Copies of this chain bind each other. A is one copy, B any other.
Amino acid sequence: MASFRLALIQLQVSSIKSDNLIRACGLVREAAKQGAKVVSLPIHLFDIDVPGKITFQESKILSPGDNFSTFNTRGSVVQHRIADGSLISCAFSVVTTAYCRVGLGICYDIRFAELAQIYAQRDCQLLVYPGAFNMTTGPAHWELLQRGRALDNQLYVATVSPARDDKASYVAWGHSTVVSPWGEVLAKAGTEETIVYSDIDLKKLAEIRQQIPIYNQKRSDLYAVEAKKP
């Protein structure tokens, strides 16, 4: 399959976990109905910010099966966690779906070019960063970082933010986005709760890599980006 539909659930995350889960399930079902084959949920779905101590703790990516209500415990669901909540780029998590290889990062991870470079070396075609930039870093860096990662590594990049809640202790920028391997924005949410859809076209990805063949032209005799742990 050369192309599949990705959906990003830009959920309005509340402090009531059970409510979040019920609405997330409804939106995942809706995304599946619209033909989405891979769905990503936002950061902060299960754990709400504690003022003064932002925790980037949990996010999920899943390939929707028959029963989305069980996505929290199914083996097909990848849990991606930074246990201590510190703002440090995390270890590598690659998910192989039926459609492509997906590299995962959380939020601040997107600032670390190395993570994306290593995912590209590991044949990822899509990077997904559930994240919540704020009202300063959002307008300045949110889109720039994902377009840069996409273009430099010639792969698709998606970011999944919670919807904006101006009354929250941490106000998320919103604007969940999908960027092509050419660095162009394919789909972008506003600030409200919504689902972002975009077709991930692996044939187009291959064409772009042929047009500008930077991977064949990297000077491995001069430099290398190396992962030190598997």
Residue A18 is within 8 A (CB to CB) of chain B in the complex: no
Residue of A112, A223, A227 most packed against chain B (CB within 10 A): A223
Residue total for A at the interface (Cβ-Cβ under 8 A) = 39
In the complex, residue of chain B having the shortest beta-carbon distance to the beta carbon of A226? B224
CB proximity to B under 8 Å, residues A9-55: none
Instruction: For the complex, give the distance between the alpha carbons of A148 and B144 in Å.
Output: 7
Residue A167 is within 8 A (CB to CB) of chain B in the complex: no
Chain A interface helix/strand/loop/mixed:
mixed
Residue A76 is within 8 A (CB to CB) of chain B in the complex: no
Whether A214 lies near B151 (C-beta < 8 A) is no
Q: What are 21 contact pairs spanning A and B, CB under 8 A? A: A89-B222, A91-B222, A92-B222, A111-B152, A111-B212, A112-B219, A113-B152, A114-B223, A115-B223, A118-B223, A140-B182, A140-B183, A141-B183, A144-B147, A144-B183, A145-B151, A148-B151, A222-B228, A223-B227, A224-B225, A224-B228
Which 9 interchain pairs have the tightest Cβ spacing?
A148-B148, A114-B223, A113-B152, A225-B225, A223-B227, A111-B214, A88-B217, A89-B219, A144-B183
